[in-house]
């Protein structure tokens, strides 16, 4: 399986696990508890009542672990089956290797911590926005956690799962659509995540110089929330799957070095991009560049990357990245050193 095939296989699984986690959170929220705290003016208490905890994302952590293990196993499968002396070499990736387990723990912890902290901040903002608009506690809570579909029984809309930035951006769209200001309302028509079926409604409101009706506005914002949640899941899955696969591949090579099957000085890392116009310009400049296994690539931005999706690199260099590393082993160099050692 190629690296791109690994991404195509595990990215949808991570995205689905994220959506499953969010669905589980929504379905477990006790609306009455949230409303009761909002009636007391306890916004932080209302956030806590939603139980946006790490444990809610266990399914997502399992999906990330599966991607990590697959990345390491795939890496050793790419290595040549014969060593410098022509003898067969058996490569193995230890999923229980202490360093591999440490890397995976850090990846999972960082991912879930970021999601939960951003969730709490965003949900708090959304509750504050609702109360500031003069909504009653029940309407405010429903805007945040979503309203139940009478057919499916599932909650739709709501901001659970969105980033704080997305929540702020959607609130701005709500304000613009309710303003009746033609210039502000037209900004909605520029949103890539909007439901285009509502475009005629917005254009009619602009023509008549009136705001979108409250009932229609609620439907539009609900769809905007759902579409942004889908986008959020896809981007998170892309970034986190990339981190897991690349981190595992790097660790797999280091396991072989630690086992004495290859030497670090014989391993070269070569940066390869996806080769299309979606590749960020800083990574286009890295395409084909090579460094030693213990060296880093330097992006034109100045950032240092051990590999694509390096969790230690800035978000601007790893979010949505689809690049990969090609590892080359210099068996000729290893043979020369062995010959010199034997004839010295």
Closest CA to 64 of 27, 4, 120, 110: 110
Instruction: Return the pLDDT at 210.
Output: 96
pLDDT value at residue 150: 87
Q: Rounded to an integer, what distance in angstroms lies between the CA atom of residue 194 and that of residue 213?
A: 17
Q: Where are the alpha helices (DSSP H) in 40-57?
A: 43-49
Task: Give pLDDT, residue 228.
Answer: 96
Per-residue model confidence (pLDDT) at position 118? 93
Cα 269 to Cα 272, 307, 324, distances in angstroms: 10, 8, 10
Rounded to whole angstroms, the Cα distance separating 125 from 105 reads 30
pTM of the model as a whole: 0.89
Looking at residue 84, its pLDDT comes to 67
pLDDT tens readout for residues 89-122 = 889 999 999 999 999 999 999 999 999 999 999 9
Segments of the chain scoring below 70 in pLDDT:
83-85, 332-344
- Asked if 232 contacts 252 with a C-beta cutoff of 8 angstroms, the reply is no
Could you tell me what percentage of the chain is helix, strand and coil, using 3-state DSSP and rounding each to the nearest 5?
65, 5, 30
Q: Is 341 left (phi over 0), alpha (psi -120 to 50) or beta?
A: alpha
Domain positions in the chain are 3-262, 263-344
From 334, 324, 248, select the one nearest 5 (Cα to Cα): 324
CB-facing half-sphere around the CA of 155: CA atoms within 13 A: 25
Burial state string for 94-117 with b = 16 or more CB within 10 A and e = fewer than 16: beebeebeebbeebbeebbeebbe
Provide the 3-class DSSP secondary structure of residue 305. Answer: strand
Q: What are 113-141's pLDDT values in tens digits?
A: 999 999 999 999 999 999 999 999 999 99
Question: Residue 272's beta-bridge partner residues?
Answer: 324
- What's the pLDDT at 338? 60
């Amino acid at each position: 399986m190629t690296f791109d095939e690994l991404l195509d296989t595990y990215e949808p699984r991570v995205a689905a696990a994220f959506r499953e986690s969010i669905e589980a959170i929504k379905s477990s929220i006790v609306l009455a508890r949230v409303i009761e705290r909002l009636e007391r003016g306890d916004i932080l208490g209302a956030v806590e009542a939603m139980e946006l905890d790490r444990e809610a994302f266990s399914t997502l952590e399992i999906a990330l672990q599966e991607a990590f293990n697959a990345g390491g196993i795939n890496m050793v499968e790419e290595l040549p089956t014969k060593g410098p002396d022509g003898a067969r070499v058996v490569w193995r990736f230890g999923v229980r290797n202490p360093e591999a387990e440490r890397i995976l723990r850090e990846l999972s912890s960082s991912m879930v911590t970021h999601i939960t902290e951003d969730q709490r901040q965003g949900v708090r903002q959304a509750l504050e926005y609702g109360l500031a608009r003069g909504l009653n506690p029940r309407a405010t809570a429903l805007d945040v956690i979503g309203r139940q579909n009478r057919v499916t029984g599932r909650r739709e809309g709501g901001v659970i799962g969105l980033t704080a930035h997305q929540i702020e951006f959607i609130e701005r769209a709500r304000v613009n659509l309710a303003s009746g200001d033609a210039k502000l309302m037209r900004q909605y028509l520029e949103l890539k995540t909007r439901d285009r079926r509502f475009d005629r409604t917005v254009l009619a409101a602009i023509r008549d110089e009136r705001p979108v009706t409250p009932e229609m506005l609620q439907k539009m914002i609900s769809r905007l929330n759902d579409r942004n949640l889908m986008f959020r899941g896809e981007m998170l899955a892309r970034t986190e799957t990339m981190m897991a696969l690349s981190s595992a591949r790097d660790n797999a090579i280091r396991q072989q070095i630690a086992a004495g099957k290859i030497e670090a000085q014989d391993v070269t890392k070569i940066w390869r991009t996806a080769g299309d116009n979606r590749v960020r310009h800083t990574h286009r400049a890295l395409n084909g560049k090579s460094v030693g296994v213990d060296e880093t690539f330097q992006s034109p931005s100045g950032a240092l990357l051990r590999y694509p999706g390096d969790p230690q690199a800035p978000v601007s260099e790893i979010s949505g990245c689809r690049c990969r590393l090609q590892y080359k082993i210099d068996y000729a160099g290893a043979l020369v050193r062995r010959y010199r050692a034997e004839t010295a």
